[in-house]
Amino acid sequence: MISMKYALALGATMMLSACATQKISDYAQNQPRFDVVKFFSGKTEAWGMFQKRNGEVVKRFHVNMEGHEENGKLVLDEHFTYSDGTRQSRVWTLTPQPDGSWRGIAADVIGQAIGHTAGNTLHWRYTVKLPVDKTTYNVQFDDWMYLVDEHTMINRARVTKFGFEVGQVTLFFRHPA
């Protein structure tokens, strides 16, 4: 049986962490405004890393991307090269919605990615089939992308499974002038 003191402490912690959650609307006034199509059209490069929940960097990677509009949608062709020599590709098809949100699909994404923009920020949530060694795990990504200037973006993603954090991804994007 849980003691009353423990139950109150747990409840207070849960309430405080719920209050601390960022919202996309928090960034509505930030500039420059994130134009998804403008930023991702043409060639873009990114550099990143995956860290375990304890902070240990387990993979670094480089991404070459090419984006173009097709039938009112944005198609992003991504090519990853990892520090261990492995390679991976992903093609996203992003569709703008009437309410201003975005929906995205890719071969290794389960269902649809759902994204919202406000000010300089894009927030994505999706589930991806992640290959690790000889096993594939379905993990959730909670991506926050922050436009620094018209050519630079920083992306922080929290990766979870069954609601528990397994790691974080940090990426720096550069779109040439």
Assigned token pair, 115: 């994204």
Pick the closest to residue 176 from 73, 48, 94, 67 (CA basis).
67
pLDDT tens for residues 47-95? 999 999 999 999 999 999 999 999 999 999 999 999 999 999 999 999 9
Span 111-117, average pLDDT: 97
Q: What pLDDT is recorded for position 82?
A: 96
The answer, yes or no, to whether residue 19 has pLDDT greater than 60, is no
Q: What is the value of pTM for the model shown?
A: 0.85
Q: What pLDDT is recorded for position 2?
A: 52
CB burial class (10 A; 0-12, 13-18, 19+) of residue 3?
A: exposed
Q: Could you tell me if 130 and 116 are in contact, meaning their C-beta atoms sit under 8 angstroms apart?
A: no
Q: Who has greater pLDDT, 44 or 19?
A: 44
Span 156-164, average pLDDT: 95
